[in-house]
Amino acid sequence: MAATAEMARARARLLASLRQGLEARGSLEVETPIAVPVAGQEPHLRPFETRFVPDLPVPPGGVEGARTLHLHTSPEYAMKRLLARGGFSRIHQFARVFRDGEVSRTHNPEFTLLEFYVAPGDAALIMGELEQLIAGCARALQDVWRPTDSAPPDLAAPFERLSCQAAFLRHAGFDPLPLDADALGRAARGCGVRVPHGASWDDAFTQVLLEKVEPQLGLARPTYLVDYPASQAALARRCPRDPRVAERFELYARGLELCNGFSELTDAAEQRARFEEEQALRGHLGRAQFPLDEQLLAALPSMPDAGGVAVGVDRLLMLLTGAREIAEVLLFPASEEYPHARLADLGSRGGRG
């Protein structure tokens, strides 16, 4: 069922509240390209592909200057390049982003991300600001709760902070950090998660996270899951007090993953190595491999210490209104526009947003 006019008005109020809160903090709203020459490297995302063909006479052998572009899965790379320019210390964007194949109760192939950055800053600063923004949104939309069989969530700050290590101990019964891939697989199977023999460390970790940990997060009040294993750092820097983990966080509330944020990595050599690892993993998974974003890598040494986050605006609207499916908050959901699309039960796989 697509969104009603009432839901559209709730979305407008949500966006207004977010904008007001960000602007009050001195944040500048920016726009970056949607069609980009370099797609993100995240192994589990598939970008939509398009083609740029210059409107020029066709030379022998083809169209000069024609090239493949992709609809961005996140505005992250471009916004970090802005941070590196100077003069863009606090920036945000309400971006339409695109991820091929993602159709489920909580996924739509085209959706809205709020991405914002603060420099100087880090993950802790971003978490504090985001929980204040969400608390303000809850106050702005306190009269639009729809279900009659449940009460609105308690979104008063501060939210719970829970490390991945502590969350696994609490909900799966073991600490994953000291274990190698085989031992982690055995521990996963021991707590009832079906992990194939020979599975990689990250695959076993993710499966336990999806089945045992995520469903228990944010039930009483929103929970920040913090200190992800270093192998799941994405574009976050490692934690100086414990190099086994990265300064990455995700926010969960009533079963919804709402955001993904980092203390941003500014080491170009380490980021290049991570991109190359992801590039190889994409090939192993049979997915298209993309060139590295050399413009981003060149900009990183000039980028100040920063914190950033991508917030799923549609999911935040679901949380604030009590909608059960993402289709209820979209005027033209893919589940209705493409009724034969197979709904998948997708989980968090570590990408931004």
CATH assignment of the domain containing 296:
3.30.930.10
Residues pairing with 117 in the sheet = 91, 308
Highest average pLDDT, of 51-60, 98-107, 160-169, comes from 160-169
Mean predicted confidence (pLDDT) in 136-165: 95
3-state secondary structure of 348: coil
Domain assignment present for residue 178? The answer is no
Mean predicted confidence (pLDDT) in 59-82: 86
Domain assignment present for residue 319? The answer is yes
Instruction: Say how many C-beta atoms besides its own lie within 10 A of residue 344's C-beta.
Output: 12
Phi and psi (nearest 5°) for 244?
-75, -15
What is residue 353's predicted lDDT score, i.e. its pLDDT? 46
Mean predicted confidence (pLDDT) in 221-247: 97
What DSSP string describes 283-309? HHTT-------HHHHHHGGGPPS-EEE
**Token pair in block for residue 283:** 């090939």
Between these two residues, 326 and 342, which has the higher pLDDT value? 326
What is residue 348's predicted lDDT score, i.e. its pLDDT? 46
Computed over every residue of the chain, the mean pLDDT equals 93
Domain assignment present for residue 184? The answer is no
Domain assignment present for residue 13? The answer is yes
Domain assignment present for residue 303? The answer is yes
Mean predicted confidence (pLDDT) in 38-57: 87
- Domain hosting 293: range is 5-52+68-159+221-337
Domain assignment present for residue 23? The answer is yes
- Bond preceding residue 158 cis, omega within 30 of 0: yes
pLDDT reading at 163 higher than 60: yes
Domain assignment present for residue 277? The answer is yes
pLDDT reading at 346 higher than 60: no
pLDDT reading at 182 higher than 70: yes
What is residue 1's predicted lDDT score, i.e. its pLDDT? 80
Q: How many domains does the chain have?
A: 1
Domain assignment present for residue 193? The answer is no
- Residues 6 or more apart whose CB falls under 8 angstroms from that of 22 comprise 29, 92, 116, 133
**Token pair in block for residue 138:** 């809850």
pLDDT reading at 141 higher than 50: yes
Residue 351's pLDDT band (cuts 50, 70, 90): very low
pLDDT reading at 345 higher than 70: no
Residue 338's pLDDT band (cuts 50, 70, 90): confident
To which residue do tokens 């022998």 refer? Answer: 60
What is residue 340's predicted lDDT score, i.e. its pLDDT? 65
What is residue 343's predicted lDDT score, i.e. its pLDDT? 53
- pLDDT (tens digit, 9 = 90+) per residue, 192-214? 999 999 999 999 999 999 999 99
Residue 349's pLDDT band (cuts 50, 70, 90): very low
Q: Rounded CA gap, 330 and 106, in Å?
A: 11
Antiparallel, parallel or unpaired: β 223-229 and 160-163: parallel
To which residue do tokens 């891939």 refer? Answer: 181
What is residue 337's predicted lDDT score, i.e. its pLDDT? 75
